[in-house]
Every structure is written in C-alpha cells, then in structure tokens.
C-alpha cells in the first residue's frame, strides 16, 4: 500500500468501501484501477477496497461480480475480502462508500483528525440520478450488471475529482 503522506508530491490514495468487500467495492476498485491505468496515473494513485463488516473476510470476490466485470473488460483484483481498519483513515485520502449505511459506518469510525474526502461513491456520477450502489449479493446476474452501470460513470467522475485535486496540490 502506498502511504500518500510518504509517497511524495502528487501521490494520493482511494479506498472503496461496501459491507463485505466481495461485490461492489472490488468492482468499483477494478473499474477505477482500469481508468487510472489508462490515464497513466497508476504510479500516482494507490487503490484498494474494504468492507465495514467481517462477514466475508478472507473470501475472494463473488464469482458473479468477477464474470460480469470480465465481460466488460475489467479484471477484479486477485485478492481476498478484508475489513476496514482504523489505519485506513491514515492511508487513504479518498474513502468512498457504496451506500448510506456504509457511509454512516465510516462516519462513526472516522478519527477526529481525518482530513481526507469521505463521500458516497455515486456523488461523483455527473448524472446524479441515483444515490446508492445497490448490493447485488442476493440478486441475479442483471443486478451485477446494474452495479457496473452505476460504477463506470462514477469512477470517471471520481478520477476527474482526484486529478483536479492533484493538479491543485502540484500548482
């Protein structure tokens, strides 16, 4: 993990958070990572995901999420679900929640001295029609497609916000 406080000028970090860290947050991580790599910013932006609860700690991403992402050209991280840690607030400048429940959990856990960006992920969707990424875990294949439909424009909007912050920092 890149520590943005140690990485030098222009470095930042983004953490995607859902409940169990096997569907929505790894999907958002994969889509955002692909955009960051295409933009040539992989060395400047550290990216990870976590869950607010320990329900699926140690499990790989949901196979349905992996397959639907693959069909759109994204590789979900080869990783195992992990629970959010207090240290994540020190490691990540941008922490984005998939829904209001998880944002509320993050706000309760946030240290008083956290100066980063804590927000709903879909706040970065320029269309602004939907507030939350619904949890597809108990759903069907089309629910995983819906997650991707919501994540793609929000990831592009988030990248634009991160790039703007980096350029202002470097100015």
Residues carrying an active site annotation = 18, 24, 135
**3: Cα within 13 Å, side-chain hemisphere:** 4
The residue count for the chain: 171
Query: Cα(15)–Cα(48) distance, rounded to whole angstroms?
Result: 5
| Selection from 167, 166, 136 nearest residue 151 by Cα | 136
Compute the Cα dihedral for 50, 54, 58, 60 and give only its sign.
negative
Beta bridge partners of 117: 94
3-class DSSP assignment, residue 44: coil
For residue 20, give Cα distances in angstroms to 48, 62, 80, 114, 159: 14, 10, 11, 23, 24
Beta bridge partners of 48: 15
DSSP 54: -
């Amino acid at each position: 993990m890149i520590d943005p406080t140690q990485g030098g000028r222009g470095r930042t970090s983004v953490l995607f958070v859902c409940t169990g860290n096997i569907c929505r947050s790894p999907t958002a991580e994969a889509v955002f990572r692909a955009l960051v790599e295409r933009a040539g910013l992989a060395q400047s932006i550290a990216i990870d995901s976590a869950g607010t609860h320990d329900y699926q700690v140690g499990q790989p991403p949901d196979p349905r999420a992996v397959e639907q992402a693959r069909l759109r050209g994204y590789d979900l991280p080869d990783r195992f679900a992990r629970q959010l840690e207090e240290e994540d607030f020190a490691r990540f400048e941008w922490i984005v929640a998939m829904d209001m429940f998880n944002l509320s959990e993050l706000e309760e856990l946030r240290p008083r001295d956290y100066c980063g960006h804590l927000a709903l992920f879909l706040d970065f969707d320029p269309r602004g029609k939907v507030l939350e990424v619904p949890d597809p875990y108990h759903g069907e294949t089309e629910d995983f497609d819906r997650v991707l439909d919501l994540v793609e424009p929000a990831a592009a909007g988030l990248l634009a916000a991160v790039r703007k912050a980096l350029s202002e920092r470097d100015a």
